[in-house]
Amino acid sequence: MSFPADEPLLFTPLPLGALAASAMLSMADVVFLSKLPASTLSRLWRNELWLDRVSGATLQQLVAVVPGLSEYVTRRSYGSRLGNVLRECDEAGLDISNGPIGALLTDGRSAQHVATALAAASSMMRLDSHAAVSNLARCWGVSQDLALDALFSAEPHGLVADMAPLVERGLQVIDILDGGSNSLHTTVGYGILVHKLTKLTGAVPADTSPDARERNSAFAYRSGTIGVLLRSGDIDASIAYAHSLDQNVLLRRNELWSLTSYYADMPQSPDFSLPARGGLHNTEAEMSKDIASSNEAYLHYLVTSAIPILLEHDRLFGAATGEIARQLRHRLERAVSDRRVEAAISTLLTSMP
């Protein structure tokens, strides 16, 4: 296995002297500008592993005078972890595609999230269910999901060249956990795995039920349902989910927690509690994008389940900017093919403040 095309920037350590030279600075220049002792710099100047040996105070003074040094420190920090995770994936038998990793990093998306997603993959391959769900749970969020979607996508955009081994191990982890516990990380990690495998394969890989009585089962049921909507565009599945919300208070609470924590408007509380109040600005902005771009089954879910739940929590949700209503009207103007979706949008618009 080889590393991404930008490996030198990510993985190859450079001497402090080389970094200074790229900024047209000699050691004498750095001594003068930083006021550091020449003896201190001489120990670091030609050492490729100088970053492992430098003190925090010295590093601060160097960053202040050597252009580009802070970026190198950042890239070396996450590059070291990413390199270790890539080696773990290789040892676990995963063939990682270099192109998509490079694209994610070049696009400015977080290398930290890419590393966490790949750590989850290597854990699944080892059937380490605890590590798998622990890493997956740290990928809960709209920005983190970019890396996770790349992990669970087929080529040419997926991180894994051959998805079959990862899917097989993922299904085995689902069986090992068998729903998992009600702890925050197990519940979220297990639910994410159910969702991603459903979205990838088209089949919910676990026994989920709308008659959920525990947080973990409620989260897993929602995860599988959203996967079905995104994969198959089945509006009947959205109708069934909305009906389930009407019948189950726990599902309604889970829906609100899932939306607001995913969009980082509310914290991921260990007991899944929710503050009585809190702005939903991130949720509104991201949901507006979803309304504009989603398939009609997911759009139906938004207007019959997600937005009504958010309006119950905050009656003025979407009213400040009007963007939610504007995007809904725009979808109607573009012509919705299914009359059930058209009717649901019209009904919601009349009820919004």
Q: And the tokens for 217? A: 């089962």
Closest CA to 240 of 256, 254, 253, 224: 224
- Residue 164 included in any domain: yes
State the residue for tokens 């990682």. 96
Instruction: Assign 3-state DSSP to the chain and report helix, strand, coil percentages, each to 5.
Output: 65, 0, 35
Mean pLDDT across the stretch 190-212? 95
Pair 212, 239 in one domain:
no
Pair 280, 323 in one domain:
yes
Alpha-carbon distance of 256 to 113, in angstroms, equals 24
Pair 124, 200 in one domain:
yes
What percent of the chain is modeled with pLDDT above 90?
75
- Residue 29 included in any domain: yes
* CA dist list (Å): 68 to 21, 31, 65, 108, 161: 11, 17, 9, 17, 34
Q: At what angle do helices 323-333 and 339-351 cross, to 10 degrees?
A: 150
140-160 pLDDT tens trace? 999 899 899 999 997 677 899
75-121 pLDDT tens trace? 787 777 888 899 999 999 999 887 778 777 766 567 889 999 999 99
37-72 pLDDT tens trace? 999 999 999 999 899 899 999 999 999 999 999 988
- φ, ψ (nearest 5 deg) of residue 96: -90, 130
pLDDT score for 236? 97
Q: Which of 182, 217, 232 is the last residue of a domain?
A: 232
Pair 175, 155 in one domain:
yes
Q: How many domains does the chain have?
A: 3
Other beta carbons less than 10 A from residue 10's beta carbon: 21
Q: Which of 27, 50, 75 is the last residue of a domain?
A: 75
Asked if 304 and 239 count as a contact pair (C-beta separation under 8 A), the reply is yes
Q: What CA dihedral angle connects 150, 152, 158 and 161, to 10 degrees?
A: 150
338 three-class SS = coil
Pair 103, 226 in one domain:
yes
- Residue 249 included in any domain: yes
Pair 219, 264 in one domain:
no
Other beta carbons less than 10 A from residue 175's beta carbon: 12
Q: Which of 75, 110, 132 is the last residue of a domain?
A: 75
136 three-class SS = helix
For residue 324, pLDDT beyond 90: yes
Alpha-carbon distance of 242 to 73, in angstroms, equals 49
289-312 pLDDT tens trace? 999 999 999 999 999 999 999 999
- Residue 86 included in any domain: no
Q: What pTM does this model have?
A: 0.86
State the residue for tokens 């200074």. 20
Asked if 85 and 128 count as a contact pair (C-beta separation under 8 A), the reply is no
Alpha-carbon distance of 96 to 151, in angstroms, equals 9
For residue 69, give its domain range: 7-75
Asked if 87 and 3 count as a contact pair (C-beta separation under 8 A), the reply is no
Pair 223, 107 in one domain:
yes
Pair 204, 220 in one domain:
yes
- Residue 85 included in any domain: no
Pair 227, 97 in one domain:
yes
Pair 225, 262 in one domain:
no
Asked if 217 and 191 count as a contact pair (C-beta separation under 8 A), the reply is no
Closest CA to 14 of 58, 64, 73, 63: 73
Pair 265, 325 in one domain:
yes
